[in-house]
Copies of this chain bind each other. A is one copy, B any other.
Amino acid sequence: MEHTGRGDPARSLALLWRTREAPGRKGGPGLTVTSIVRAAIHIADTDGLNALSMRRVADHLGAATMSLYTHIPGKAELIDLMTDTVNAETLDPPHPPPITPWRDRLNDVAHRNWRLHQHHPWLAATATTRPVLGPNTTAKYDRELNALTGTGLTPIETDSVLTLILSHVSSSARTLAETTRTHTDTQLTDAQWWQAHAPHLEKLLDPQRYPTAAAIGAAVGAAHNTAHDPHHAFEFGLHTILDGVAALIASRT
């Protein structure tokens, strides 16, 4: 994966905060940072992050590939810009006021991000170290931290809890995205895949050797129609984590 740290920070930040947005030339394709980012998001939403290439973005805009580099240092910065742009979507319905119980507020934060990842599955495939220091991402972080005010947690605990929640969302979203992408790529549903493997597995999987796996695996497969239902994994995990956070908060009062 690409890294952002290559160019100078001033350039990257100016891009994110849209200092000086150039109008572009008149006759040709009116390339703008905004238009490039929008096209890139469209492609990634439709065909995934792997299908996002500089060539495709340029084609989609009726421009030559290298023209993009006039406006954007490289692909890594483009992805950062895409991320900051879509992060704005989590701000739209205003967050609930502090009177609301913290658990409802945190649950709301989790589901906002879950929805965001549904609309933009490629988000889960981007690197998360070194946050994108754009206006929307910063605002998102600010609002989400507010979900924990009044709980008596220390600043570090607050950040840790939020990190854990967002990490869980991202992880679940990644699994979901991989599942659907694997499905479209291989033209095989999980059920079909299991059916194709089942006959050979019967000869290899000795119930004597793997007693628990055999028992639990069968029950799980019967319950959801597939082995891992990402939606269920998300909700179950969120509920469990919130219970754990409740224990932490209870111990502080």
Contact = CB atoms under 8 A, between A and B. Distances in A.
Interface string A122-138: 00000111110101001
A38 to B, nearest CB: 22
Interface string A169-202: 0111001001100100110101001001100110
A186 B6 contact: yes
B237 A164 contact: yes
B240 A245 contact: yes
A167 interface: yes
Copies in the complex: 2
Interface stretch (A20-28, A59-67, A209-217): A209-217
Contact of A220 (B10, B135, B159, B246): B159
Nearest to A215: B155
The A contact surface, by secondary structure, is helix
A241 to B, nearest CB: 6
A104 interface: no
Interface residues on A, range: 35 or more
16 contacts: A1-B50, A5-B182, A5-B188, A5-B193, A6-B186, A13-B200, A129-B179, A130-B190, A142-B210, A155-B215, A155-B220, A156-B220, A167-B171, A168-B168, A241-B244, A244-B244
A247 B242 CA distance: 10
A51 interface: no
Contacts of A211: 142
- Among A131, A200, A205: residue with most chain B CB under 10 A: A200
B236 A164 contact: yes
